[in-house]
């Protein structure tokens, strides 16, 4: 269902302006600030820092995928292809809620990019649940 909504929203975004062209990118997480522990049933927050390659990029949404007791986290950004932009990077951060629904420890996998073989690289942070 999430994928259908995502695809629909992309088509809607592109249909709103026939002159603008956008390209979706997955960006790496530069740094993540996680709580030392989580309490079952609570809501806590994680802050991720990321870098937009230039001002033509803008935050679109958080890539957050469930994988058992792990969560894969990256940033989705839209690049405006119809605008000429300076090559100045833009550092940003995003804070998102985590509803603690499991009693097992959470493993957050913050996406760092791909290695020379095209394999995903992650920084893994285990956060215990009380």
CA pseudo-torsion sign 99, 102, 105, 108: negative
Report the C-alpha gap between 95 and 105 in whole angstroms.
20
What pTM did the predictor assign? Answer: 0.82
Confirm if 102 and 69 have CB atoms less than 8 A apart.
yes
In this prediction, residue 83 carries a pLDDT of 87
Domain residue extents for the chain: 2-127
84: left (phi over 0), alpha (psi -120 to 50) or beta: beta
pLDDT tens across 64-115, in order? 999 999 999 999 999 999 989 898 999 999 999 999 999 999 999 999 999 9
In this prediction, residue 18 carries a pLDDT of 46
pLDDT tens across 83-94, in order? 898 989 999 999
pLDDT tens across 12-38, in order? 555 555 456 999 999 999 999 999 999
Report the C-alpha gap between 40 and 102 in whole angstroms.
7
Report the C-alpha gap between 66 and 22 in whole angstroms.
27
């Amino acid at each position: 269902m999430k994928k259908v909504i995502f695809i629909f929203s992309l088509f809607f975004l592109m249909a709103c302006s026939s002159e603008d062209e956008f390209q979706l990118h997955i960006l790496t997480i530069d740094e993540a600030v996680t709580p030392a522990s989580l309490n079952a049933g609570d809501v806590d927050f994680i802050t991720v820092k990321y870098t937009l390659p230039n001002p033509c990029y803008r935050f679109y949404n958080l890539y957050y995928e469930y994988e058992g007791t792990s969560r894969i986290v990256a940033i989705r950004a839209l690049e405006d292809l119809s605008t000429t932009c300076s090559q100045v990077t833009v550092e940003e951060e995003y804070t998102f809620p985590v509803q603690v629904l499991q009693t097992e420890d959470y493993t957050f996998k913050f996406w760092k990019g791909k290695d020379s073989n095209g394999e995903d690289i992650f920084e893994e942070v285990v956060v215990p649940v009380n």
